[in-house]
Structure 1
Amino acid sequence: MPQATSVSASQNNAAHRPAGWGRWGDDDERGALNTLGPAALTRGMACVTEGRSLSLTAPVVPGRGTGAVGRPDPAHFMLRDGGDYAAGHPERGGFAFADDVIQIPTHGVTHFDALSHVWRDGLMYNGHPASAVSSRGARRLGIETAGPVVTRGVLVDLVPAAASWLPGSTSVGVDELRALLDRTGVTLESGDALLVRTGWLEAWQQGQNTDGVWPGLDADCAEWLSEQDLSVLGADNIGVEAYPSSDPECQVPLHLALLRGHGVFFCELMALAELAASGRSTFLFVANPLPVAGGVGGPVCPVAIL
């Protein structure tokens, strides 16, 4: 098994060192989640005015995945059920029980991308070498390094009022994104979780042809988004950014610029329609990705508290 080279050596071999590398030290593995703390938490808690919560998690339906490219469908298996007892299995200790197992693709349900999910030139976030990801998982930047995320969430609905979803591979550029954010009256602050709704999930659920394309943010959003110092960037589509990309040289420019370059965690395949219908642009955002040791992604059940 190839051994991971040191971070400093990897960085010396890199053609370009992103501005976000080394911000929290050369060994850092939490990236932009380092922006979280009392200020971000208090800002989020100040948004709780109604005392109700909304799930931002898409249902996990066995045998029916969410169309995430290259991912298998979730599977659900019963280890014990009522049929076992009907067939003669005795109750013991005064009770009977059912038990089950699930099998889910970590990137095929509502999930966080770990910082080990993408790389370029053999280097992941903060200069950690891609050789640290093997058939046994990620020895560096695994999803278990994330931990709980509690901060202010900000929703920007990209779907026009007269539409149910953005069509095809609609690409929303930085000028439109900023204009829509301005309409909410919200100014992004360090540590915020920015969520953008495209309506893709509803289009998929209603049988629209979503194979191979999806609407999302354009590549030109990268620089401005990096300046906002977000902790999390989330969406209701497969990859947050539009696909195919407008960048002729890279199909995932936002992943490389933000996740790899600045350690911003991406949360994908979110359910945002109910939150959008609430009319709320800010809320307390709570999420804790499943800490799969060495996972390059982690299923998550994010919640908006209004």
Structure 2
Amino acid sequence: MMIRTRILATAMGLLLGAPLQAAPAATVGQSPWGPQDELGALNLMTDASRAAILSRVAGGEAYDLSVEYFIGMPGWHAAGDPRYQMWMTHTPRGTVNSDPMHLGEEINAHVSYTGSAISMYAHTGTHIDALNHFGLNGKIYNGFSADDHLGDAGWNVTGAETIPPIIARGVLIDVAGAKGLSMLTDNYRITRADLEQALAHQDVTLQQGDVVLIRTGRMANYEDADAYMTAAPGMGMEAARFLAEESGAMIIGADNLSFEAFPSEIEGNYVPLHTYLLAQQGVPIMELVYLEDLAAKGIYEFAFIGGSLKLRGGDAAPMRPIALPIK
């Protein structure tokens, strides 16, 4: 119980001594792509940008940027969200005994049937946040209000089904590696200077429309959910503004959960990076991205290719992205 309470307190920014900054009342962003736009920064991806990055693919190894799903994996169950669960609906022996399709013992013994089902929170494992995940004052990005656009079966705008297949230049910013660390220290808040130092160390320059992925090294604790979730390092507001507004990142992600550092820097908002990126800037967030192999090989630029599940009205969707080295 103590560990669960500590995880929840850390995640929700309720620890005492938070470095709060007073901020003017924030409002949701209006899309420069028009009042009906549901994609936000994903509009930066075009036929030309996809063709440009695919033309640079060098071939060779493909790097899997997703994590495995398993019972006991890290998740937001301390905040009341369901754990990942998997159970068998059919087993070879069980099917022989129960004969659910009335085929007879001989056929069931010959045809070995295995089936399973899963249940989980949408923000489990490697996933992308849809723009409706967090909002401000009852509205989400581009001014869509919950009163008008949220039903019993999810949002009818900006749902996960609207997220297109993503093909873009990917950039790994290995903040831990640039500091000579395998993992950033507990509760470390990544700054703009940290990002600039890592980019200089890697000799990489950001471009508008990039998928920018931040490595904290936290993935080393992935098999131990309590260690992974407790006091995790994450992004600070200054760093997020640098990536979204100054560098023009299309998607920003990291190897942790939940992306930003806690406790909050902003008074009156316990998840300021989520509301800033999703609700104000229209920039989707990826979490639990597996970056260890790329970092080990020193691959900092690549073609990012990924598609998420088309969960209608959903506020997030699982992804299995890949990285292809470029020349």
TM-score, shorter chain, exceeding 0.5: yes
Matched, 1:138 2:146: no
Structure 2 partner of 1:188 = 206
Give the whole-Å Cα distance in 2 for the aligned partners of 1:154 and 1:175: 17
Residue 66 of structure 1 aligns to which amino acid in structure 2? P
TM norm structure 2: 0.81
Aligned to 1:247: 266
Contact 1:168 1:210 in 2 (8 A): no
**Cα distance, 1:250 vs structure 2:** 2.5
C-alpha distance in 2, partners of 1:211/1:224? 26
- The match for 2:279 is 260
CA gap of 1:267–1:16, structure 2 versus 1, over 3 A, is closer
- Superposition deviation, residue 115 in structure 1: 0.5
Q: Distance in 2 between matches of 1:259 and 1:40?
A: 22
Instruction: Report if aligned partners of 1:213, 1:244 keep a CA contact under 8 Å in 2.
Output: no
Counterpart position of 2:194:
176
| Larger CA deviation: 65-74 vs 291-300 | 65-74
Return the letter of the residue paired with 2:33: W
Counterpart of 2:50, as a letter, is: L
Q: Which runs of 5+ in 2 are unaligned?
A: 1-24, 100-104
Moved over 6 A (4+): none
**Secondary structure at the counterpart of residue 212 of structure 2:** strand
The alpha-carbon deviation at position 272 of structure 1 amounts to 1.1
Partner of 1:290: 309
Structure 2 CA distance for partners of 1:178 and 1:100, relative to 1, 3 Å: same
Per the alignment, residue 72 of structure 1 pairs with 82
What residue in structure 2 maps to residue 10 of structure 1? Answer: none
Distance 1:211 1:99, change over 3 A: closer
Q: CA deviation at 1:169?
A: 0.9
Sequence identity, in percent? 31
Q: CA deviation at 1:217?
A: 1.3
CA contact (8 A) 1:197 1:235 kept: yes
Name 1:209's counterpart in structure 2.
227
- C-alpha deviations, 1:102-159, integer Å up to 9, x for none? 1121112211101000011111101111332343211111110112111110000111
Structure 2 counterpart of 1:34, one-letter code? N
Aligned counterparts of 1:272 and 1:293: Cα–Cα separation in 2: 28
Structure 1 residues 107, 86: closer, same or farther in 2, change over 3 A? same
Q: Distance in 1 between matches of 2:226 and 2:157?
A: 39
**1:39 and 2:45 are equivalent in the alignment:** no
Are 1:55 and 2:74 matched, yes or no?
no
Distance apart, 1:289 and its partner CA: 1.1
Q: Normalising by structure 1, report the TM-score.
A: 0.87
Partner of 1:156: 173
Could you tell me whether the CA contact under 8 Å between 1:114 and 1:295 is conserved in 2?
Answer: yes
Say yes or no: does 1:105 pair with 2:121.
yes
Q: 1:220 to 1:88 in 2, by over 3 A?
A: closer
Q: CA deviation at 1:211?
A: 4.2
Over the residues paired in the alignment, what is the CA RMSD in angstroms?
2.3
Contact residue 44 and residue 153 of structure 1 kept, 8 A: no
Cα distance between partner residues in 2 of 1:39 and 1:150: 11
CA contact (8 A) 2:234 2:260 kept: yes
Higher helix share: 2
Shift of 1:165: 1.1
Decide whether the 8 Å contact of 1:290 with 1:299 is kept in 2. Answer: yes
How far did residue 72 of structure 1 move? Answer: 2.2
